[in-house]
């Protein structure tokens, strides 16, 4: 049962998880690089055939493809669609930076928390067709057939990311109260 204390504890954990990448320059740079890479991957996955055709011709088309697909998302879904992609990229970057920090601090036993990030990473994504990374796996048509063109799937992926970030908390601290902290 949810109590006021459990909700406030969850929000403290979520805040600690979101703020962790900003504690050191190395993690902040990692967050920016990862978020940009995830943004590029999500944008390129909005129209996988177009992306593969253009980049198959020559890699110098990458800027044209990124600008063109970003404009397509803006024209089809407006600022909301573009904001969802940016939010998703930033949250995914935070999740990956935190997972790497947790892996460094705790070791391979923390890999169970990494599996919680995977569903959100695969399911959510592109704001124009709802396919996200599933488009590269061949599921774009199935996702596009969902109600609201897969918007609920994108929101669900973001909710999973937020849930697992809040559950994990600061990657170098235990999120569960111990006898010493009571």
What CA dihedral angle connects 98, 110, 120 and 71, to 10 degrees? Answer: 30
Q: How far is CA 140 from the centre of its chain?
A: 18
Domain boundaries, the chain: 10-168
- Looking up tokens 């396919």 gives 131
Nearest to 14, CA basis, from 179, 158, 180, 127: 158
What CA dihedral angle connects 142, 148, 152 and 155, to 10 degrees? Answer: 110
pTM, rounded to two decimals: 0.74
> Given this model, what pLDDT does residue 36 score?
94
pLDDT tens per residue, the chain (182 residues)?
567 778 888 888 889 889 999 999 999 999 999 999 988 888 888 787 888 888 888 888 888 989 998 898 888 878 887 888 888 889 889 988 888 887 787 766 655 555 555 554 554 444 444 445 555 555 555 555 655 555 666 777 788 888 888 888 887 776 555 555 55
Q: How far is CA 21 from the centre of its chain?
A: 14
């Amino acid at each position: 049962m949810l109590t006021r204390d459990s909700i406030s504890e969850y929000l403290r954990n979520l805040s600690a998880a979101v703020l962790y990448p900003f504690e050191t320059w190395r993690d902040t740079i990692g967050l920016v690089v990862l978020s940009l890479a995830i943004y590029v991957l999500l944008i390129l996955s909005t129209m996988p055939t177009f992306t593969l055709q253009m980049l198959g011709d020559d890699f110098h088309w990458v800027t044209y493809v990124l600008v063109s697909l970003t404009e397509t998302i803006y024209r089809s879904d407006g600022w909301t669609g573009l904001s969802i992609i940016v939010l998703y990229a930033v949250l995914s970057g935070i999740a990956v930076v935190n997972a790497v920090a947790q892996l460094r601090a705790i070791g391979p036993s923390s890999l169970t928390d990494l599996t919680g990030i995977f569903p959100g990473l695969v399911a959510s994504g592109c704001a124009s067709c709802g396919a996200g990374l599933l488009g590269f796996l061949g599921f774009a048509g199935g996702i596009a057939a969902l109600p609201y063109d897969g918007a609920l799937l994108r929101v669900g992926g973001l909710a999973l990311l937020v849930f697992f970030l809040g559950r994990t908390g600061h990657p170098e601290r235990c999120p569960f109260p111990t006898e010493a902290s009571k």
